[in-house]
Amino acid sequence: MPDITICPTCGSDKIKKVQRDLTREFQGQSYTVPALEFYECPNCGERLYDWEAVQKMQAYSPAFARSRRPRVRARVRVPFTSVARAAA
């Protein structure tokens, strides 16, 4: 993400890149994203996250825990009948 010098919401030039632990809640379960870097405007509270920050939030969020589980494929057994035996 390029350096952001003007807040897109309020136009303030006081927006700064910060790094802090971000604590959120999802369905009653609290989680913390450590040392997250993002831009924050002290004037209006706007927060801007780059793609790397979003990926880090997803990695810690229980909302995305299901998508991180490996997919298990069900095995389906189909009886095999040879073509020669089926023709007879």
pLDDT in tens, 39-53: 999 999 999 999 999
pLDDT per position as a tens digit, 6-61: 999 999 999 999 999 999 999 999 999 999 999 999 999 999 999 999 999 999 99
The runs of H, that is alpha helices, within 1-88 are 51-60, 65-68, 83-87
Residue 60 backbone dihedrals phi, psi, to 5 degrees: -95, -15
Confirm if 48 and 8 have CB atoms less than 8 A apart. Answer: yes
pTM above the 0.75 mark?
no
Measured CA to CA, the distance from residue 9 to residue 44 in angstroms comes to: 8
Domains of the chain: 1-67 (3.10.20.860)
Residue 40 pLDDT: 97
Rg of the chain taking only CA atoms, in angstroms: 25
